[in-house]
Chains A and B, each alone.
Chain A
Amino acid sequence: MQDMENSIDRLPVHGLLINNFQCVLHAVAYLPESGGGQNICVKVGLFINYMFLCGRQTKKKNNLMGFMAKAGKLLLPFFILFVLTVFTLPAQEKKFTISGNIKDNSNGEDLIGAEVIISGTRTGTVSNAYGFYSLSLPEGKYTLLFSYIGYLKKEIPVELTSDTKMNIDLKMNARELTEVVVSAEDRNVTITKAEMSVEKLSAKAIKTVPALMGEVDVIKAIQLLPGVQSTSEGSSGFSVRGGGHDQNLILLDEATVYSASHLMGFFSVFNNDAIKDVTLYKGDIPATFGGRLSSLLDIRTKDGNNQRFTGTGGVGLISSRLTLESPLGSKASGLISGRRTYADVFLLLSSDENLRRSSLYFYDMNAKVNFRINDANRIFLAGYFGRDNFSNRFAGMNFGNQTVTARWNHIFSPKVFSNFTLIGSFYDYYLKSNLSEQLNQEWKSKMNDYGIKADFSYLPNPTNHLKFGYNFIYHRFTPGEGGGTGSESLLARIAFPKEYAAEHALYLANETTIADKLKLKYGLRYSAFWNISNGEEQEYLENYSVAYTKTSKRGKIYQTQQQLEPRAGITYIISDYHSLKAGYSRTAQYIQLASNSASGSPLDVWFQASQNVKPQLCDQFAIGYFRNLADNEYEASAELYYKDMKNVVDFKDHAELLGNKDIEHELRFGKGYSYGLELMLRKNGGRLNGWVSYTLSGSRRKIDDINNGNEYRSPYDKPHNISIVANYELSPKWMVSANWVYASGTPVTYPTGRFQVENSYVPLYSGRNEYRYPAYHRLDVSATWQLSKPGKRFRHELNVSLYNAYGRKNPWTILFRQENDRPDSSYAEMVYLFTFIPSITWNFTF
């Protein structure tokens, strides 16, 4: 052991991480073996011992050893819990495992979250994100019940005498072909599942929500859920439980989407036709994920129909879209989906030359191929490519995301499922001006992420589900480069130094059934962030001014920050119809958006935690009561949460963020908290379905130098938030939908005084966010007319919608102006974006 103590002293940080990773790999190696548990205990225990020993080496709390000492203290109870729940089961009879994939029989799509239970009990499991399930049971006869909302249940008797492979195809309930099912989970899963603060929406439900300009939008639908609010009128930005719009991790097939909006935020980048599953974690973020403080929006695209060639599409007022799916041989299938707006096509018809020379459009494309090599190996390749382009003869801009993922599912054994992912995520913007030969200029910025993930899922017995793995992301940011164009330009060419960083995370989590009615979920995520030198001078700030500088060799890790992020949850199932849940999670965020506006713009760049910027931290506590009524027809829930945030980032007054290479000089730090009560009543099916939600909440910040150091309302502090979403099937041919939203006004800083400068009145302001805009409310309605007869392969429908049906003028912003004829008088002017916006869309499938 003395050798170990000595050797760990010599280990650099990355050496330690490699050691951690080796630990995980050793664990994987042992898992499939019978009795491997003891070996794992030895390994994990050894690692914790390492940490304690390291901690004893030094009393300094701020260095690596200090961190290890603290980590050791946290790990010990985690380790004890782990051992108690996983490896101290009483001596058991020999077990066999039944495993396989659960799919939709019509198109071969994997069903995520399908339930598998032993009939008449609560013992069971659910399928993972790839439709895989695994259940280990003692030898014997069982009846397994496979179910998924909107699908016919399947009961299969099984005599388990050996490990068994059983793939299941579920058939969609004939009525569900037309009926909207709001939830994406089985009927009482919200009661029994050991998770809370999670919202799932079916693609079909998203489609029925009346949409701005007829563009069906995942994020706009998400904004109607309790605890979620739009950052501004019409925006695709969203705030979850009082968090910032950059505190949401948005994943598309596991790749981070850094800017999820088109057209200045009015539309999201997600094409609903390509989407299979949408899950929003508002607080109970699994240990598998991290990197953002407030939420995880996990979006999975369809795999592509492996039964027959199909198509889905639509023609709307501003865009058209088409999605094609097809089998690719006997073992593969694929999907390609595209969407493009055509406002620029109409501009060509204009008699105004300036307009004819303008362009205004966005497009996006999703493509995916999956290849089933054999029962134990499967490969997925997916990509997203989207871009916005606006230009006229004076100026232009374009921006877009690209993501690519390559995944390999490998089943090590019936109990061990693994997924290995290679990820690329890219975002860039480009600006240009065309004013004169001397002043023409361009400017561009981009960020590239390259990631690797190794995720393992181990189901040793029906009462435990372990997940563990390792994530790595390499960030390469180009904050900005450009300058004058052409030989006559007065402007120099400049390039801000590129920034490099790497994020690592190791995690281990378990979901365990302690008793028939008691479920426990716990996990630990260790995250580390490295700043990698670009060879330039690094500034070290004190009191927001440069205290000294250092230069590190290019490629050297000059700063490491790390966190332990525990996650825990407990579920007490009172009966099949109601349960109590509680949860705690700590999340850390190492990169953030340089945006001090409420909803952000495509020109915002991300910046990293560094020697001057500590990672933002959030501790969230939540309790909830979940109740299903009328044989699970209705779901009701009440959740209370409290979030305590540290190292919260804000920007000094009049901060310059665009094109500023010294963004860290503009930052200010502090703390924040938010709290709330979320009530939800949802009717999942039937002719009338939908939900009503109410959120009572508050969100505050206290940041150095802002509001004189006094606490102030965050921009997302809206005490009352109500959403009502309803769909009603008038007849098999007609469906009507409506949603009504109400939210307290956005906090705002109003002028309370003025003084004169250069013949103009300059405002003097109230305290930060001391006032509020008028309350926001809006009604949207839509009607869908089925044009085709039932049973036809080609089906089509017409959707007519009216956004803001009663023409409420909701202020987007309020400006203060001087009267032209009486310059000593001022007035307030509201800018509103939309009154009535009618739209019509023709949709089809074949």
Chain B
Amino acid sequence: MNTPLYKKIPLIGIAFLPVFFSCLYSCTARIDIHTEASAPRLVIYGSISTDTMQHSIKITRSSGYFSTSKPEGISHAAVSIRTDKETFTLQESSTEAGLYQTGSSVFGAEGETYRLSVALDFDEDGRQEAYEAVSYMPGTPRIDSIGFRPSPLSDDYLEVLVWGHMPEADGNYLSFHLYRNHKIVNDSLQGFLMTDDMYMDKKEIAGVSCFYLNQEEEQNILREGDIITVRIDGITKEYAAFINAAQRELWGSDPVFSGPPANVQTNIISKSPSESILVSGFFTAFSGSKQTTVYR
């Protein structure tokens, strides 16, 4: 569907991997693996952005790897996001257990630090446990325009190009999302595109190919009149590391290029150190910019 834009120099190594793995991964077979389910963890995942909207924090319980049900939401938590100036209290959704949301007029500000606080009784021992996470709101990238061209790499692909500008400060991390007719195209962790400007010479984004859409696949074919939106978010280094690690774990490991699998680190900290509850997930702030055009 789409391929990563560019991340940093190390990714160049990945460029040839499809050649290698396409040869190898043709030999696959399902296999029965029996693992003992680990003790359930508390999972807190959510964000606040510069968009004016309802911002969400989802609190769930982890399940066994081969479970077939959706994650169990945890109700009756006290959830808030605050800065030095204001506090947003999140209310649990009436339709989805474990989903906590701000009011719809809330928005974050660039350069601000946000502190998530969660209090709940996860282990149902009658005592509340407290958790906290902190994230700053990074600088916002700017998108001036978007365009399209047939890919010079392959006749089957259409490239989505972006013109714009990176935030002026150094050490930026960006994520990219594509919407077609207001529906997100890359809504999975695998499709989450990121890059940083560690090795970038220029702050200007001058017609860079962000997405490669395979026009042989029905769901990717662009038709005249389609409304195309590209969104670029400024994300924190820590969140980029979290997503990067989660993507790696999702992809899996091999004996040649991968290190051993490992749990993805979280920035959620227990404020009740005596508790033995393990926590996963992430809280982050991000600043977004988007641009829309009609495909012709």
Contact = CB atoms under 8 A, between A and B. Distances in A.
Contact of B255 (A435, A491, A654, A812): A812
B65 A443 contact: no
Contact of B260 (A659, A749, A814): A749
A760 B247 CA distance: 9
B68 A762 contact: no
Interface in B148-162: 152-154, 159
Interface string A726-766: 00000000000000000000100111111111111111111
A490 B262 contact: no
B171 interface: no
Nearest to A834: B27
Contact of A831 (B12, B24, B245, B259): B24
B89 interface: no
Nearest to B212: A435
A828 B264 CA distance: 20
B9 A264 contact: no
Specify the main secondary structure of chain B where it touches its partner. loop
Contacts of A603: 13, 257
A488 B65 CA distance: 47
Given A751-B65, A829-B30, A760 B60 contact: no
A393 B201 contact: no
Contacts of B291: none
A755 B250 contact: no
Nearest to A815: B252
Given A396-B16, A490-B208, A760-B190, A232 B256 contact: yes
How large, as a class, is the contact surface on chain B? 35 or more
Given A598-B255, A762-B189, A753 B62 contact: yes
Given A435-B153, A764-B41, A491 B188 contact: no
B245 A654 contact: yes
Contacts of A667: none
A172 interface: no
A431 B262 contact: no
Contacts of B169: none
A813 interface: yes
Interface string A233-266: 1010000000000000000000000000000110
A365 to B, nearest CB: 25
A492 B201 contact: yes
B218 to A, nearest CB: 15
Residue of B10, B16, B249, B260 ringed by the most chain A CB atoms within 10 A: B260
B255 A599 contact: yes
Interface string B163-186: 000000000000000000000000
A441 B201 CA distance: 12
Given A431-B12, A829-B28, A752 B36 contact: yes
Contact of B209 (A434, A435, A755): A435
A189 B186 CA distance: 67
B150 to A, nearest CB: 13
A390 B251 CA distance: 24
Contacts of A232: 255-256
Contacts of A354: 154
Nearest to A436: B209
A762 B248 CA distance: 10
Given A494-B199, A597-B258, A433 B15 contact: yes
A813 B16 contact: no
A752 B37 contact: yes
A599 B256 CA distance: 5
A233 to B, nearest CB: 8
B281 interface: yes
A603 B14 CA distance: 11
A495 B122 CA distance: 50
B210 to A, nearest CB: 11
B201 A491 contact: yes
Contacts of B111: none
A765 B15 contact: no
B33 A814 contact: yes
A754 B65 contact: yes
A750 B261 CA distance: 8
B54 to A, nearest CB: 18
Nearest to A715: B260
A657 B10 CA distance: 9
A482 interface: yes
Given A660-B10, A831-B27, A771 B264 contact: no
Given A438-B206, A816-B65, A831 B16 contact: no
Nearest to A233: B255
Contacts of B25: 831
B38 interface: yes
A444 to B, nearest CB: 10
Nearest to B20: A264
B208 A764 contact: no
Nearest to B245: A654
Nearest to B152: A436
A490 B197 CA distance: 10
Nearest to B250: A760
Contact of B28 (A358, A750, A830): A830
Residue of A443, A761, A762 ringed by the most chain B CB atoms within 10 A: A762
Contact of A759 (B30, B189, B258): B189
Contacts of A830: 28-31
Interface string B137-153: 00000000000000011
Interface string B70-107: 11000000000000000000000000000000000000
Interface in A816-846: 816, 822, 824-835
B35 A771 contact: yes
Nearest to B166: A490
Contacts of A763: 65, 249-250, 261
A451 interface: no
Given A438-B206, A764-B65, A235 B255 contact: yes
B240 to A, nearest CB: 12
Contacts of A774: 31
Interface string A491-510: 11110000000000000000
B246 A762 contact: yes
Given A482-B9, A660-B10, A766 B38 contact: yes
Contact of A811 (B8, B31, B40): B31
A764 B9 contact: no
B165 to A, nearest CB: 12
B136 interface: no
A448 interface: no
B62 A828 contact: no
Interface string A377-419: 0000000000000111111110000000000000000000000
Contacts of B68: 822, 824-825
7 contacts: A392-B19, A494-B9, A746-B255, A751-B261, A752-B36, A762-B280, A774-B31
Interface of A: 231-233, 235, 264-265, 354, 358, 390-397, 431-436, 438-439, 441-443, 480, 482-484, 488-494, 596-601, 603, 651, 653-660, 715, 746, 749-766, 768-769, 771, 774, 809, 811-816, 822, 824-835
Given A754-B63, A811-B31, A830-B29, 8 more contacts: A390-B16, A435-B153, A654-B244, A655-B259, A753-B38, A755-B43, A764-B280, A828-B32
